[in-house]
Chains A and B, each alone.
Chain A
Amino acid sequence: MQRLMTFYDTSIGKKLVVAVTGLIMYGFIIGHMLGNLKAFGGATALDQYAEMLREIGASFLGNTTFLWFARIVLIVAVVAHVVTIIQLSRRNRASRPTRTVRRRNASTLAATWMAISGTLILVFIVIHLAQFTFGWIDIHKTGTEGFEYGAVYSNIWGAFNVWWVALFYVVMMAMVCMHVYHGAWSMCQTLGVDAPPRNQMIRGGAATIAIILFIGFCSVPVAMLTNALSAPPIDEMAVEPQKYERSPQIMNVSEGDQG
């Protein structure tokens, strides 16, 4: 325990925490991006996929148990990542009290923007959850249905058809991808898995994955905004309609709005 505390107290120990928590989140966003692509399979495919996520391991753990386990791991990872970074930044500021005319020579934009992109991502996560998980922020194109729990395709279709929502997501994805580009190869350095014969591959791999993530994430809002992905069927009841207690009255109201 003592050994672990000393380890965590050093900058390398802290960086290791940042690297490992970063790796967990890196795995998550890759999965998230692949999941998003289900939207191209249509409303039913996406909604069923969302329902499937809730049912992983349901046969012996019960519904959403696995989902909550994953959520807790992610929440712990985010908190540990941010707290450790704040501790490190505080030390780094102390070690650089005077800022005179220093020129940046080798750092990439991604490296110097880590703090900026990281903060923006944190804000983005809150907005994103409020918009698509809890439905507290319900911005949708006039004429489309508002947020409805479980109707994933319909929810994102309505939101991404507002041009500035789509733009906001594209900009934020640029931030995420910049952050994970530097984060991914930086993590290899922190874990000490990089070595000169592999470095080119690691840097190249980090850049490729970042670009794939950007394209993958942005394809859905762009496709919805440009109508490459069609509007959800109005009576779309993709997964077990009675489960969400979507009463016919509500449907009538939304149809009335359109008329």
Chain B
Amino acid sequence: MISQETQNQPPAGKTISLTIRAWRQARNKRKGHFAEYALDRIPIDASFLEMLDILNETLVQKGEDPIAFESDCREGICGTCGIVVDGLPHGPGQCTTCQLQIRDFKDGATITIEPFSTGAFPVIKDLVVDRSGLDRIIQAGGYVTVHSGPKPEPNSIPIEHAVVEDALDASACIGCGACVAACPNGSSSLFTSAKIGHLGLLPQGQPERNARVKNMVESMDEEGFGSCRNYAECQASCPKGISIKYIGRMNADYIKATISGGDHRGDMHAT
């Protein structure tokens, strides 16, 4: 007969103890606060989110409300997870929160975890924020029109290799919102510019190029994101290492689009 104690014992391997200072907020309109949780015997091989899973299990066992947080693929590619760890979005290192490993933290450390909250990212609960503002920016212009017939021959539109690479670098954006959380102004310029750069650099993105940049930039302002002041905090906390050069490109594109006054073809509006 195994006792409860032995059951909870992690498998062989080193363990550490941590103190988690977590942001608790029942819902958006309520005032939030930090709550401290002492955790011991966290396996060193656990990931950061597994550590939170362990913490939540102990909370559920005690009959308390578990800490709400988002995660999906846990492989660093979907952009669902997002926690400010010790004051840095996605924690130290260039990775998503799910790629943080417990082995990177010191035994006995106190870890502060907060949501990605800004004016445009209101807290839904605890560490979960509403990032739908980013979706609406995408809806405003983050697409290309393609005909729905048979697939075109891939080599029919030759694209310079450097341009492909540049567009691919921008397309690495997973839309996690770390750039907004990192920005002292809560600006989504890096996200928006990555999406504009990704589509606007390629020939397929040219028909809506002017309308795209205008609509996405205006939507970004309507959503209440702040303005870019070139702190470059976004670039430092982007898990995909997207450069602020795309912001410069977006600015130039926006100025050009304003001068030319929109697209002269591919404009699908009925009016």
Contact = CB atoms under 8 A, between A and B. Distances in A.
Given A10-B254, A92-B184, A185-B230, 7 more contacts: A11-B228, A12-B227, A14-B227, A98-B117, A106-B235, A112-B184, A188-B248
A103 B249 contact: no
Contact of A102 (B84, B229, B245): B84
A164 B139 CA distance: 59
Contacts of B118: 95-98
A255 interface: no
A7 B214 CA distance: 9
Contacts of A13: 254, 258
Interface string B73-97: 0000000000010111000000000
A96 B186 CA distance: 6
Interface in B233-257: 233, 235-237, 243-245, 247-255
A95 B120 contact: yes
A16 B235 CA distance: 21
B119 interface: yes
Interface stretch (B43-51, B55-63, B101-109, B216-224): B216-224
A189 B233 contact: no
A11 B248 CA distance: 13
A21 to B, nearest CB: 15
Interface in A101-127: 101-107, 111-112, 114
Contacts of B255: 12, 16, 191-192
Given A105-B236, A186-B229, A11 B86 contact: no
Among all A-B residue pairs, the 3 with the closest Cβ atoms: A192-B252, A103-B87, A11-B227
B223 to A, nearest CB: 9
Given A95-B224, A102-B84, A12 B245 contact: no
B232 A106 contact: yes
A243 B251 CA distance: 52
B138 interface: no
A9 B217 CA distance: 11
Nearest to B257: A7
Interface of B: 23, 84, 86-88, 112, 114, 117-120, 182, 184-187, 217-218, 220-221, 224-233, 235-237, 243-245, 247-255, 258, 261
A185 to B, nearest CB: 7
Nearest to B224: A95
A97 B87 CA distance: 16
Interface string A1-34: 0011011011111111000000000000000000
B181 to A, nearest CB: 8
Contact of B114 (A7, A96, A100, A188): A100
- Chain A interface size, as a band, is 35 or more
Contacts of B117: 98, 100
Interface of A: 3-4, 6-7, 9-16, 88, 91-92, 94-98, 100-107, 111-112, 114, 182, 185-186, 188-196, 199
Contacts of A7: 258
Most buried by B among A3, A92, A97: A92
Contacts of B235: 106
Contact of B243 (A103, A104, A105, A196): A196
Contacts of B236: 105-106
A88 B227 contact: yes
Contacts of A104: 184, 233
Contact of A199 (B187, B221, B245, B258): B245
A107 B249 CA distance: 20
Contacts of A102: 84, 87, 182, 184
22 contacts: A4-B258, A6-B258, A12-B255, A13-B258, A14-B227, A91-B221, A92-B227, A94-B119, A95-B186, A95-B224, A95-B225, A101-B114, A102-B84, A104-B233, A105-B182, A106-B233, A111-B229, A111-B232, A189-B244, A190-B251, A195-B245, A195-B248
A15 B251 contact: yes
Contact of A193 (B185, B230, B252): B252
A98 B187 CA distance: 14
Nearest to A97: B119
A107 B217 contact: no
A11 B226 contact: yes
Given A10-B218, A95-B187, A103-B88, A192 B249 contact: yes
A189 B251 contact: yes
Contacts of A105: 88, 182, 233, 236-237
